[in-house]
Amino acid sequence: MRELTYAEAIREALRQSMSADPTVFMIGEDIGVYGGAFGVSAGLLAEFGEERIIDTPISEAGIAGACIGAALTGMRPVGEIQFMDFVTLSMEQLVLQAAKIRFMFGGKAKVPMVLRMPGGSGTGAAAQHSESLENWFVHVPGLKVVMPSTPYDAKGLLRAAIYDDNPVIFVEHKLLYKTKGPVPEEPYMVPLGQSKVVREGRDVTIVATSIMVLRAMQAAEILAKEGVEVEIIDPRTLKPLDMTPIIESVKKTGRALVVHEAVKMGGFGGEVVSLIVESEAFDYLEAPVRRLAGLDAPIPYNRTLEYHTVPQVENIVEEARSLAEGRF
């Protein structure tokens, strides 16, 4: 199958959605001539014009509000927040407006919008351009949260998000933009709320999100050589969360490790661990359920410090190995 980068796959989802549906449009900072800070929308201005590829002033609350108002009145806007960090400036609109409008109005309105934003560290962008804030949104009823790890999922999930009738926070990862993978040319959707077993194994279950899926895959290769077979599950959609494959996997392996880049305290991993131990999988556990996540610190600028602030392949190897060997 043809290969595309993660960024190209997102662009193709946008292009195909906009071509097929006049209600879909994009709005964000520097998405036009500049092509987006990470080049995701490159070329779309020439194809769709200024009316549908809307460059905005530096106004993140305004971008979110523009999406909400358009979505309420029949459009399917796709907003871009240049760095996930800047979504802090849109929070009122997202949390108190987008997420609640339908409920507050007795289910009589809908807000079909997507807000895309790149999160994550690893680019030397330091503390204010490297955040992983996805769990803030997981905590808000009315929002959906999507976090693809492959080009295939990025395209399919974005199309599903665009056609979902709810506000969807779509979290991309800066380090994933250039990664490649097979992507079908035709338009397709990956349904929201379906976890995926991306590698099968009998010894340890690893639940990983976004770029941590790739690192877990690398760790699994190393561990396989040692005879430790890791099963990896990518939730893909953090909310709604499909726990079934995770619970089934833990019943098989009896050992679980949750890996994400965001800070551990209050992070998504805590939720996954709780759901595992609240489920029937509890009876099958051979070891404590573990989490590997970002340190409780802002992302430092220095390359070495930055590297050691979030989980890396070797950390996952060590953590999974100790679980498999019964050292915990």
Partner 1 sequence: MPKQPSILTTWGEEKALNALKKMLLIRAFEEKAEELYALGKVHGTMHLSIGQEASAVGASMALKPGDYLLNHHRGHGHCLAWGGDVDKMMAEFLGKETGYCRGRGGSMHIADVEANNLGANGIVGGGVPIAVGVGLSIKLRKTEQVVIVMFGDGAANEGAFHESLNMASIWDLPVIYYCENNQYAMSMPVKRAMNIERISQRACAYGIPGVTVDGNDLFSVYEAVKEAAERARAGDGPTLVESLTYRWRGHSKSDRQAYRTREEVKEWQKKDPIKRYAKRLGLSDKTLAELDQEAKNRIEQAVAFAEASPEPDVNTILEGVYA
Task: Supply the residues annotated as catalytic.
Answer: 60, 129
Q: Would you say 24 or 198 has its CB closer to partner 1?
A: 24
Distance CA 31, CA 26 (A): 8
**Residues 81 and 134: beta-carbon distance below 8 Å:** no
Q: Does residue number 72 form part of the binding site for partner 1 (CB under 8 A)?
A: yes
Query: Is the CB of 141 or the CB of 227 nearer to partner 1?
Result: 141
**CB of 225 vs partner 1, minimal distance in Å:** 45
Q: How many of the chain's residues bind partner 1 (CB under 8 A)?
A: 44
Out of 4, 45, 54, 154, name the contact with partner 1 by CB under 8 A.
Answer: 54
Q: How far apart, in whole angstroms, are the C-alpha atoms of residue 119 and residue 129?
A: 8
Q: Does 21 bind partner 1 (CB under 8 A)?
A: no
State the Cα–Cα distance between residues 62 and 47, nearest whole angstrom.
25
48 contributes a contact to partner 1 by CB under 8 A: no
Q: How far apart are CA 52 and CA 59, in angstroms?
A: 18
Q: C-beta of 18: minimal distance to partner 1 in Å?
A: 12
Identify which of 228, 178, 246, 287 has the alpha carbon closest to the alpha carbon of residue 219: 228
Among the listed ranges 29-37, 59-67, 199-207, 281-289, the one in contact with partner 1 (CB under 8 A) is: 59-67
Angle 71-142-190 (CA atoms, 0-180°, nearest 5)? Answer: 75
Cis peptide leading into 240, omega within 30 of 0?
yes
**Among 164, 111, 169, 159, residue whose Cα is nearest residue 137:** 169
Residue 237, helix vs strand vs coil: strand
Match 């199958």 to its residue by tokens. Answer: 1
**Residue 26 binds to partner 1 (criterion: CB under 8 A):** no
Contacts of partner 1 in 164-193 (CB under 8 A): 164-166
**Residue nearer to partner 1 on the CB measure, 143 or 263:** 143
Of 283, 288, 220, give the one whose Cα is nearest residue 255. Answer: 288
Closest CB to partner 1 among 15 and 251? 15
User: Is 106 strand, coil or helix?
Assistant: coil
Q: Are strands 76-80 and 24-28 parallel, antiparallel or unpaired?
A: parallel
- Closest approach of partner 1 to the CB of residue 325, in Å: 43
Q: Residue 167 or residue 201: which is nearer to partner 1 going by CB?
A: 167
- CB closer to partner 1, 32 vs 269: 32
Give the binding range for partner 1 (CB under 8 A) out of 5-13, 140-148, 253-261, 264-272: 140-148
Which residues are within 8 A (CB) of 186 and not within 5 positions of it... i.e. 6 or more apart?
A: none
Considering only the C-alpha atoms of the chain, give the largest distance between any 2 of them, rounded to a whole number of Å: 60
The alpha-helical segments, DSSP class H, found in the chain are 6-20, 44-48, 60-72, 91, 101-104, 134-138, 151-162, 211-225, 244-253, 268-278, 303-309, 313-325
Residues 80-139 that bind partner 1 (CB under 8 A): 92-93, 96-97, 101-110, 112
Nearer to partner 1, 165 or 296 (CB): 165
Does the footprint of partner 1 cover residue 313 (CB under 8 A)? no
- Residue 75 within binding range of partner 1, rule CB under 8 A: yes
**Min CB(96)–partner 1 separation in Å:** 5
Q: How far is the CB of 104 from partner 1 (least distance, A)?
A: 4
Q: Does 59 bind partner 1 (CB under 8 A)?
A: yes
**Interface residue list for partner 1 (CB under 8 A):** 25, 27, 51-52, 54, 56-57, 59, 61-62, 64-75, 77, 92-93, 96-97, 101-110, 112, 141-142, 144, 164-166
